[in-house]
Structure 1
Amino acid sequence: MGEVGLLGEVRKVLGLERRVKEAKKLGYSVASAESGKSVAAAIKKLLRD
């Protein structure tokens, strides 16, 4: 979970626990907190797990 920068990097966000709780309420079952990695790398990791 994070902001995506113009170069495709995932940036750290504040209030991660609160965001995860809200995502669960909305029906999401998987979250990734891969700050500093590219979006592609985070997606590949999610697909492997």
Structure 2
Amino acid sequence: MVVLLLVLPALLGPALGTVSAGRHLIAAAPYVVAAFLVAGLVVGVRRLDVA
């Protein structure tokens, strides 16, 4: 998952190219990070339930 977060901007950056698109990505970044954190918590809780 962490690899995706590092690779996606490198792939999307040149493809988008424009400053306005970059600003939208920067504005969306906290929501993306929060989504990954929530997903990680859910997976962690499920693992605890199994254990």
TM-score normalised over the length of structure 1: 0.26
**Larger relative contact order, structure 1 or 2 (CA cutoff 8 Å, min sep 6):** 1
TM-score normalised over the length of structure 2: 0.26
Greater CA radius of gyration, 1 or 2?
Answer: 2
